[in-house]
Structure 1
């Protein structure tokens, strides 16, 4: 009686909470993506501010005093990009990272770089929605989601060698490659051959976003960035992959342009 049945809750015990939370997030996200404009920007600003709050807390217990102000500052900065002159947007966004870094006695470079990447990735989502439309946001979200889902199930079912055990002990090569294959399928559906390579590269970038946050958590000695989302931990735990993907697409679009689909 304690054989397979006893192992099942441990192996899949977090699945109901993960699925339920994911359903809520997908519903809210889909509504904001469809509405676009102010609604999407406000959602991104709130999530971005929440992630900066979590990141500021993650830097150490003695840094708690500035976590809330930094989160609010990031949210306001992201929301303000709707009315700021184009030449002022990047200075304002990067000022948030600089302001936070100057409050620390150590790890200033780590804080500044990660906070800047986080805020720019959030801004990238806003830019993609405004310039490329909902279709590209849905593609981006789909790539990140299928990468995570395929990696989760392939890792659980197939196991095998670890992808980067010193940073993310649970991630396997089977799950990593399954994520790339699933992302290639998304690329084929959304844009055919021109989008397959970009989808796989975006999938890898999402995995690197996840790995970066895992490294920060291991450095801080914590499991989750917070407990805001049942089954997923905090906002950073859920959206770290999206940050890597969005930042990559923003930079790729600026440097080489994105394929016409």
Structure 2
């Protein structure tokens, strides 16, 4: 997430990427909204596709030039997640480790890092599918909207106000103004959902924590890119880089909600 208040070289302004970001962002939101609303196999196919593409991007970031191998690993990851969607005992979830383990063997460097990120991607993808089936579309809309508002509020506040950097060694473009704006925006989303759902007031602070988890997902991917020396995960999306660049926050949020579900009862967000 680029929220640095700074002019680009050659006379370009800090808003020059806004047009491309807006149109591609709207297209992704539309596809996501339709898939979440339809649920079932439509949402499952979208998540499996996005997850496999992110695995492909991750493999090519850590080992540039691994084109065919990265594609095969992506296809294998999609097959594993799809296979787990049928009725099976819980112990079958250990299979989510397999794509990460297989991919790790193909890496020539940063093997522990690749394994952790690949596992996080596959687990988060599976978790999103299970969340849609377990908690319903409204709950998932809440989570996705929190992530999107966190990103958008951080982008505009960071570009507008700038100020001290949040974590300059890891993500030099992220500012405290953008980070705090994301928290405020998430709280407002929680308050909005209180007006038409049966959720309790705890949803406001839970939304803020979810926003922080989303930002940590973004920072984790920034640390990965800095470690392997790349600017974007790929160039698939105009103005946005790759799918990993756009969905890193959702990965962080999904992993946080999976962890929360292991500890406490996840709050209901239903109309």
TM-score (ref. length: structure 2): 0.90
SS of equivalent to 1:143:
helix
1:187 paired with 2:190, answer: yes
Tell which has more relative contact order, 1 or 2 (C-alpha 8 A, sep 6+): 2
1:254 deviation in Å? 2.2
1:194 deviation in Å? 1.4
Q: 2:241 aligns with which of 203, 209, 233?
A: 233
Q: 2:208 aligns with which of 196, 200, 210?
A: 200
Q: 1:151 aligns with which of 147, 151, 154?
A: 154
Say which is worse superposed, 79-88 or 206-215, in terms of deviation: 79-88
Q: 2:168 corresponds to which residue?
A: 165
Residues 98-131 of structure 1: CA deviation (Å, up to 9, x unaligned): 1111222332211111111111111111111000
1:136 paired with 2:139, answer: yes
Q: Greater helix share, 1 or 2?
A: 1
SS of equivalent to 2:173:
strand
1:251 deviation in Å? 1.2
SS of equivalent to 1:116:
helix
**Structure 2: tracts of 5 or more residues without a match:** 1-6, 195-199
How many pairs does the alignment contain? 257
Aligned pairs for 1:45-60 within 5 A: 45-60=48-63
Q: 1:177 corresponds to which residue?
A: 180
1:196 deviation in Å? 1.1
Q: 1:12 corresponds to which residue?
A: 15
Aligned pairs for 1:34-183 within 5 A: 34-61=37-64, 63-183=66-186
Moved over 3 A (4+): 6-9, 62-65
Q: d(CA) in 2 for partners of 1:89 and 1:177?
A: 40
1:155 deviation in Å? 0.3
Q: 1:244 corresponds to which residue?
A: 252
- Alignment root-mean-square deviation, CA: 1.8
1:189 deviation in Å? 1.4
1:89 deviation in Å? 3.7
Q: d(CA) in 2 for partners of 1:197 and 1:7?
A: 43
